[in-house]
Structure 1
């Protein structure tokens, strides 16, 4: 496996791991374990950035004149990248809401 296929799988693997961590962070927040939730957000961000960097490299490659021929696998990788970004935003909001809920319960 090499080239575009490898980059696509790198994106999928990185953002897939990040998305899982964002989901785990929401579960931690629901237990009011905000230290764990924020730790997972940080770890997820590192994984997300790996996927984002791989994608950015493809964009730079195309911008420099070397064509990137889209494949179904690349489209799937980009879809996963966007879904991960959405998961991140939802997780951040969920953590904020859980913090407010905890304050109301006191």
Structure 2
């Protein structure tokens, strides 16, 4: 179970990091590279979901999943990563819209 929890934290953190890099690239006008970073963020998010699914499968099989602060922390990371990714996508779309225009 600890491996799944740590996977959730690591992959969620990677998702957020890739999104932050994507935003910095978009801000600098490198929109195609920003989209590549979002694609990497999506891959990391899939891995985070796999970790979460592992935990859900353990519980679905009748094993008790102990609710610990570490598990709560991991779930918090996942929710923040999803939100951050969604907002990064929206912001990159705004950068695309205003590319070449003075704001």
- Select 2:87's aligned residue among 72, 90, 104: 90
Q: CA deviation at 1:64?
A: 2.1
Is residue 4–residue 54 contact of structure 2 (8 Å, CA) maintained in 1? Answer: no
Deviations 1:64-87 (A, max 9, x none): 211111111011000000000001
- Select 2:65's aligned residue among 52, 63, 68: 68
Question: Which whole-Å CA distance do the structure 2 matches of 1:47 and 1:72 have between them?
Answer: 23
- Select 2:101's aligned residue among 82, 88, 104: 104
Match of 2:77 in 1: 80
Match of 1:50 in 2: 47
Question: Which whole-Å CA distance do the structure 2 matches of 1:35 and 1:102 have between them?
Answer: 12
Question: Which whole-Å CA distance do the structure 1 matches of 2:67 and 2:46 have between them?
Answer: 21
Give the gaps of 5 or more residues in structure 1: none
Write out the 4+ residue segments of structure 1 that deviate beyond 2 Å after TM superposition. Answer: none
Question: Which whole-Å CA distance do the structure 1 matches of 2:8 and 2:39 have between them?
Answer: 18
Q: CA deviation at 1:18?
A: 1.2
Question: Which whole-Å CA distance do the structure 2 matches of 1:54 and 1:81 have between them?
Answer: 10
Q: TM-score, normalised by structure 1?
A: 0.90
Q: TM-score, normalised by structure 2?
A: 0.92
Correspondence 1:28 to 2:42: no
Deviations 1:38-71 (A, max 9, x none): 1101111111111111101111221221111111
Question: Which whole-Å CA distance do the structure 1 matches of 2:45 and 2:10 have between them?
Answer: 10
